[in-house]
Chain A
Amino acid sequence: MNIGYYPGCALHGSSNDYEQSLQACLGALDIQLQEINDWICCGATAAHALNHKLSLALPARNLALAERDGHKQVFAPCPLCSMQLLKVQKAIAGNGLRAELSQIVEADLRGDGQILNLIQVFQTIGLDKLKAAVKEPLKSITAACYYGCLLTRPPEVVHFDDFEQPKSMEAVLAAMGAKTVEWSYKTECCGAGMTMASEDTVLELAHKILSNAAAHGANCVAVACPMCHVNLDMKQAAVEQRYNEKLGMVIYYLSDLVGLALGLSAEQLGVNRHFVTKA
Chain B
Amino acid sequence: MSRIGIFTCWCGENIARTVDVDDVAKQVSSLPGVRCSVNYKYMCSDPGQAMVREKIASEKLDGVVVASCSPHMHLKTFRRAAQAAGLNPYLVEMANIREQCSWVHHDRAQATAKAVDIIRLSVEKVRNDAALDPIRVPVTRRALVIGGGVAGIQAALDIADAGYEVVMVEREPSIGGKMAGLSETFPTLDCSQCILTPRMVEVGQHPRIKLYSYSEVEAVEGFVGNFKITIRQKARYVDTAKCTGCGECWNVCPLKKNPSEFDFAMGMRPAIYIPFPQAVPARPVIDKKQCAKLIRNGCGLCEKKCKAEAINFKDEDKLVEEKVGTVVVATGYKLYNIAKEQDKAWLSGYGEYGYGKYKNVIDSLQFERLVSASGPTNGVLKRPSDGAIPKNVVFISCVGSRDNAKGLPYCSKICCMYTAKHAMLYKHKVHDGQAHVFYMDIRAGGKGYDEFVRRAIEQDGARYYRGRVSKITEENGKLIVRGADTLAGVPVTIEADLVVLAAAMRPADGIEELAQKLNIGYDEFGFLLESHPKLRPVETNTAGIFIAGACHAPKDIPESVAQASAAASKVQVMLAADELTREPEIAAINEQTCAACFTCVSTCPYHAIERTELRTGRGAFIKRTARVNPGLCMGCGTCVSVCPSKSADLLGFTEQQVYAEVEALA
State the A residues within 8 Å of B (CB). Answer: 155, 162-165, 184-185, 188, 212, 215
Residue contact A184 to B351, C-beta cutoff 8 Å? no
Residue contact A162 to B340, C-beta cutoff 8 Å? yes
For residue B473, CB closer than 8 A to chain A, the reply is yes
Chain B residues positioned under 8 Å from A212 (CB to CB): 475
Residue contact A184 to B357, C-beta cutoff 8 Å? no
For residue B440, CB closer than 8 A to chain A, the reply is no
> Nearest residue in A to B475 (C-beta to C-beta)?
A184
Min C-beta distance of A252 to chain B, whole Å: 23
Residue contact A162 to B473, C-beta cutoff 8 Å? no
Docked complex: B333-379 residues within 8 A CB-CB of A: 340, 348, 350-352, 354, 357
Residue contact A165 to B351, C-beta cutoff 8 Å? yes
Residue contact A184 to B473, C-beta cutoff 8 Å? yes
Residue contact A163 to B475, C-beta cutoff 8 Å? no
State the B residues within 8 Å of A (CB). Answer: 340, 348, 350-352, 354, 357, 471, 473-475, 480
> Nearest residue in A to B472 (C-beta to C-beta)?
A184
What is the CA–CA distance of A163 and B354 in the complex, to the nearest angstrom?
Answer: 12
Residue contact A164 to B352, C-beta cutoff 8 Å? yes
Chain B residues positioned under 8 Å from A185 (CB to CB): 473
Min C-beta distance of B519 to chain A, whole Å: 36
Chain B residues positioned under 8 Å from A215 (CB to CB): 475
Residue contact B475 to A162, C-beta cutoff 8 Å? no
> Nearest residue in B to A186 (C-beta to C-beta)?
B473
Chain B residues positioned under 8 Å from A188 (CB to CB): 471
What is the CA–CA distance of A163 and B350 in the complex, to the nearest angstrom?
Answer: 10
14 extra A-B contacts, CB within 8 A, seeds A164-B351, A184-B475: A155-B348, A162-B340, A162-B351, A163-B351, A164-B350, A164-B352, A165-B354, A165-B357, A184-B473, A184-B480, A185-B473, A188-B471, A212-B475, A215-B475
Min C-beta distance of B355 to chain A, whole Å: 11
Chain A residues positioned under 8 Å from B352 (CB to CB): 164
Chain A residues positioned under 8 Å from B471 (CB to CB): 188
13 A-B residue pairs with CB within 8 Å: A155-B348, A162-B340, A163-B351, A164-B352, A165-B351, A165-B354, A165-B357, A184-B473, A184-B475, A185-B473, A188-B471, A212-B475, A215-B475
Residue contact B340 to A184, C-beta cutoff 8 Å? no
A interface: dominant SS: loop
> Nearest residue in A to B406 (C-beta to C-beta)?
A155
Min C-beta distance of B394 to chain A, whole Å: 16
Closest 5 CB pairs of A and B: A164-B351, A184-B473, A164-B352, A165-B351, A162-B351
Chain A residues positioned under 8 Å from B480 (CB to CB): 184
Chain A residues positioned under 8 Å from B340 (CB to CB): 162
Min C-beta distance of B530 to chain A, whole Å: 34
Chain B residues positioned under 8 Å from A184 (CB to CB): 473-475, 480
What is the CA–CA distance of A91 and B350 in the complex, to the nearest angstrom?
Answer: 27
Min C-beta distance of A197 to chain B, whole Å: 21
What is the CA–CA distance of A165 and B475 in the complex, to the nearest angstrom?
Answer: 16
Min C-beta distance of A80 to chain B, whole Å: 22
Min C-beta distance of B480 to chain A, whole Å: 7
Most buried by B among A163, A164, A165, A188: A164
Min C-beta distance of B490 to chain A, whole Å: 16
What is the CA–CA distance of A82 and B357 in the complex, to the nearest angstrom?
Answer: 30
What is the CA–CA distance of A212 and B474 in the complex, to the nearest angstrom?
Answer: 11
Min C-beta distance of B539 to chain A, whole Å: 40
> Nearest residue in A to B354 (C-beta to C-beta)?
A165
> Nearest residue in A to B352 (C-beta to C-beta)?
A164
What is the CA–CA distance of A163 and B352 in the complex, to the nearest angstrom?
Answer: 9
Min C-beta distance of B475 to chain A, whole Å: 6
What is the CA–CA distance of A184 and B348 in the complex, to the nearest angstrom?
Answer: 21
> Nearest residue in B to A215 (C-beta to C-beta)?
B475
What is the CA–CA distance of A215 and B348 in the complex, to the nearest angstrom?
Answer: 30
Chain A residues positioned under 8 Å from B473 (CB to CB): 184-185
Most buried by B among A155, A165, A215: A165
What is the CA–CA distance of A37 and B216 in the complex, to the nearest angstrom?
Answer: 66
What is the CA–CA distance of A184 and B474 in the complex, to the nearest angstrom?
Answer: 7
Min C-beta distance of B495 to chain A, whole Å: 12
What is the CA–CA distance of A212 and B482 in the complex, to the nearest angstrom?
Answer: 15
Min C-beta distance of B45 to chain A, whole Å: 61
Chain A residues positioned under 8 Å from B475 (CB to CB): 184, 212, 215
> Nearest residue in B to A188 (C-beta to C-beta)?
B471
What is the CA–CA distance of A184 and B340 in the complex, to the nearest angstrom?
Answer: 18
Chain A residues positioned under 8 Å from B350 (CB to CB): 164
Min C-beta distance of B349 to chain A, whole Å: 9
Min C-beta distance of B400 to chain A, whole Å: 14
Min C-beta distance of B360 to chain A, whole Å: 15
What is the CA–CA distance of A215 and B477 in the complex, to the nearest angstrom?
Answer: 13
What is the CA–CA distance of A188 and B480 in the complex, to the nearest angstrom?
Answer: 14
Chain B residues positioned under 8 Å from A163 (CB to CB): 351
What is the CA–CA distance of A185 and B473 in the complex, to the nearest angstrom?
Answer: 8
Min C-beta distance of B493 to chain A, whole Å: 11
Min C-beta distance of B449 to chain A, whole Å: 34
Chain B residues positioned under 8 Å from A165 (CB to CB): 351, 354, 357
Chain A residues positioned under 8 Å from B354 (CB to CB): 165
Min C-beta distance of A18 to chain B, whole Å: 28
What is the CA–CA distance of A155 and B349 in the complex, to the nearest angstrom?
Answer: 13
Min C-beta distance of A63 to chain B, whole Å: 27
What is the CA–CA distance of A165 and B351 in the complex, to the nearest angstrom?
Answer: 7
